[in-house]
Amino acid sequence: HESTVPGELGDPTVRAAEVPEPGAVTIVVPTFNESGNIRELLHRITESVPGRLPCEVVFVDDSADDTPEVISRAAQDCPFPVTVLHREEPAGGLGGAVVEGMKAAASDWIVVMDADLQHPPSLVPELVTTGERTGAGLVVASRYIEGGSRAGLAGGYRIAVSRGATWLTKSLFPRRLHGISDPMSGFFAIRRSAVTAEVLQPLGYKILLELAVRSRPREVTEVPFVFQDRFAGESKSTAREGLRFLRHLVGLRTASPVARMVAFGLIGASGFVPNLAGLWALTALGLHYLPAEILANQLGVAWNFLLIEHLLFRERRRHRHWGDRAGRFALLANADLVLRIPLIALLVGTSGMSVLPATALALVTTFVLRFVGTEALVYLP
Ligand code: GDD
Ligand code: MN
């Protein structure tokens, strides 16, 4: 059949007319150096999908190898439309690629799957028909329900990491992930109408999590699947990708100001560790405890600054030079200390409050001021 020439992002309006049938599916496949898997993938899709559902395949490619050319060649033998969108700037990694593919999708249903055949193409029709039958907006292929397994997840280490990540993620989003046993799955079907592309901020591998939390499809259902071995090539997941996942989790969890304030407080509390360690080291070196307190406090401030820069406000750093941000942050943190005592004196002196509630009130007040100040004066939205 046809294929768009790899190059610039294709113009989706040109192809939109090609797959007009209701109940049709657009299969979105992110690829990063997967030339060894393309023929087999398209072959197996050809075997199991077009006979049951009208389909098209959209590859979104960030490869440095010849994957786009291999796709274009293999596409000539396919009985359905195949498109390659090659990105010169791989923004958002895997998740960014998937969202790009979703925007170009022409069908009512979108199935997202990997190119390495760890996700069996034979399951694509069942994912869509299950959605049609149940009225669900999202159908997740799960390794963790009866009938599913993670046979292809090699090694105890990867299994443990996968389990821990799934547990952590489910505990952070109990409501949004209700009914999803496998939020880390990269294999799912979603109605195009349920994808709110404008609000998505994909970051790395966990695009299903991003969709479940930010697009919030109304009904969710699951179909079991067996996670297979990779057909050719190697996994593209790295330790760096793991860190990106943590940042993605923090970003999703701190979308609201209240959640951000809680995270800010937790980071602040963690600053006690370097603060006390610094105090111990400096006094052990023979420094008087008062200057040691002040210096050690700066250590806690630096620690907080680093965590806040890299976890909480990572996407909001562009407005100022980092030295400017550090200076403002340190100023706010030290103002907090300097202001607290006079504030307590004021509360006790003028309103006759007793010392403990006055101190608690002053702590909360300076904390909130520091948070608001950090949001408004250090990191502009
Ligand atoms: N376009 C694009 N850009 N594609 C990418 C990128 C990227 O930066 N990184 C990876 N891919 C593609 C790969 O080429 C492959 O088709 C698919 O995304 C999955 O990549 P793998 O490297 O094979 O991932 P994995 O097997 O380690 O992880 C898979 O299984 C996990 C469950 O254990 C993914 O589906 C994960 O999302 C899933 O959580
Ligand atoms: Mn894989």
Other beta carbons less than 10 A from residue 119's beta carbon: 26
Phi, psi of 190, deg, nearest 5: -140, 140
Q: Model confidence over 277-293: pLDDT tens digits? A: 999 999 999 999 999 99
Distance 164 CA to ligand 2 centre (A): 19
pLDDT at 28: 98
Strand partners, 30: 60
The span from the CA of 39 to the CA of 61, in Å, is 15
Relative to beta strand 138-142, strand 220-224 is: parallel
Residue type (1 letter), 350: T
Kindly give, in sequence order, each residue whose CB lies less than 8 Å from that of residue 241, ignoring residues fewer than 6 positions away: 93, 204, 205
pLDDT at 21: 66
pLDDT < 50 regions, the chain: 1-17, 19-20
pLDDT at 152: 66
Kindly give, in sequence order, each residue whose CB lies less than 8 Å from that of residue 80, ignoring residues fewer than 6 positions away: 1, 45, 46, 49, 50, 54, 55, 56, 57
pLDDT at 318: 85
Pick from 135, 138, 144, 124: which is nearest to 213 by CA?
A: 138
pLDDT at 153: 65
The span from the CA of 110 to the CA of 191, in Å, is 6
Residue type (1 letter), 274: P
The span from the CA of 38 to the CA of 57, in Å, is 12
ipTM, two decimals, is 0.98
Distance 32 CA to ligand 1 centre (A): 8
pLDDT at 14: 40
Distance 116 CA to ligand 2 centre (A): 6
**Beta carbons of 232 and 147 less than 8 angstroms apart:** no
Chain centroid to CA 92: 9
| Mutation probe of ligand 1 site: the residue of 27, 29, 32 with most atoms within 8 A of C-beta | 32
> Does the reported pTM lie above 0.90?
no
Q: Which ligand is nearest to the CA of 237?
A: 1
| Mutation probe of ligand 1 site: the residue of 61, 98, 142, 237 with most atoms within 8 A of C-beta | 237
pLDDT at 194: 97
Kindly give, in sequence order, each residue whose CB lies less than 8 Å from that of residue 103, ignoring residues fewer than 6 positions away: 12, 197
Q: Model confidence over 109-151: pLDDT tens digits? A: 999 999 999 999 999 999 999 999 999 999 999 999 999 998 7
Strand partners, 26: 56, 110
Pick from 123, 142, 111, 161: which is nearest to 150 by CA?
A: 142
C-beta 62 within 6 A of ligand 1: yes
pLDDT at 154: 66
